[in-house]
Structure 1
Amino acid sequence: MLGILERSAMAAGQAILEVYDAGPAVTYKADTSPVTDADHRAERMILAELAAAFPDIPVIAEESVAAGNVPDIAGQRFFLVDPLDGTKEFVDRDNHFTVNIGLIENGEPVAGVVYAPALGVIYAAKDGQAKKAMVAAGRIAGGWSRIGCRQIPDRPVAVASRRHSSAETIAYLAEQGITDCETIGSSLKFCLLAEGRADLYPRFSRTMEWDTAAGDAVLRAAGGETLTVEGQPLAYGKRDQPNDSDFANPWFIARARRF
């Protein structure tokens, strides 16, 4: 399975780069978030690949959900797809955007791929193992390397959203005594924790499950965890929420487990 997800993400990433180089056509959804022709093109490619390889596993994909296409996930095994996470970065020609494909089983992210095509780096996870590789000309270059969360240093490093920080995030970091914080877009924040380049990612602003599933899978496989502010593991497949829309996440804190 993981090889198919990797190839699908890299093919979608190649299509995204073609639009990136040509200049995307941007429109805006009902929630005022931007969407481009790259989002739609990448999602169509991923959905076709997943349908051909895994016809019995439903797929929850960002742009399909926005169009009202939500398959039944009663079986509790499904994919979450964000074809272009960090669309604002993409539009502004900031290279920190990603392709995300995550597999959920019984509410947990158990496999995932995060590909940053403009940076030429891909992360993947399955069966409790996380790995990273460089990508050149649409292919893995130099092989895969195992990654894992680091032992927490005396001065922990946090990562935070470049565009969606909040007063609550700033206050939380101050409470933890953390002064070293890097801001970065997309699901790459999870991956920086997973490969031991940072230690904490507090997110006290809105995200959706397709934003986090793949990166969360990589982090958990690398030895980290993602918890709600109540201390419970972030769950997936959330429907009929009384105070929010389907698949919306609560605030969370992603971290190296030993933090």
Structure 2
Amino acid sequence: MKGFFLLFRTDAEGRIGFGAECVGAEAAMETAHFLSAIDPFSQLAQDPLAQLAQSYKSVSLPAGAVIIKQGRPVQQVGIIQSGSAKITVVDHVGDEYVCGRLGPGDLVFDAAVLSGTVASASVIVLSPAICFMQPYNGFIETIEAHPPLKHFFYHNAALGIRWGYEFFSGRHTDAVVVNMRHPAFIRKAIEYIDDNYHHPITLEMVAKATAMSKFHFSRLFKQHMGVSFKRYLNRKRIKAAKQLISQSGYNVTEASFAVGFNDASYFSRVFREEEGSSPKWFLLHH
């Protein structure tokens, strides 16, 4: 098998162009090993997975590189191996919203790749990243050849359409949505929480990161975000715990500690308050 490493170049808008360089079988083996730990690729047998790995190319990307551009056709999809990216949406009056962050193991994908339309959001590299990328036509061939992958991506595309409807109708409450017109300290606080929620962090620590007193920060955070710092942090952790339970096979206790709770009983109480059911019920039904 032969693998490839892609050398990036960016145009004036930060969009990515590629030049491929063959690096041998080791790269394809590394890609297959990485994919085997990620849904939905973990559902494939070893031989199909090894064959699929040959169609992915390792790409090194600088901060600011645009992987997917809102309003443009989707040229490639992939998976982040290291580094991070943000998902942004620009509304009809030009306001930009940060709708989420992607990290190692997260898929870089837009439903537009299935419909042949333009992307509904942008994916922009935050910290220098290495991604396994696949061109549009290769992706379509891949999912047609592997029914489990086709089901997964079409199902998630449907969820994405629902998310978009709820976001623009103001009904979406589960995502981290930060208006770029928010004060800089709010954006900095959200970034700090996103990077550290799985560690023991406190109001004092986040306030210090924004160079504010904890009392002033607490008041302004609730004013701008609509919830207290503690409630926001708990929601972030519960969302992450749900992903670990449903997608990574964690049990309730493992998930609670992995997302920053140091007391499983407290985690269960917060989970029930936020979700209306116990984490054990969620585990049994996912």
Shared fold per TM-score greater than 0.5? no
Q: Which has the higher helix share?
A: 2
RCO higher in structure (CA 8 A, sep ≥6): 1
- Based on CA coordinates, which of the two structures has the bigger radius of gyration? 2
Q: Which has the higher strand share?
A: 1
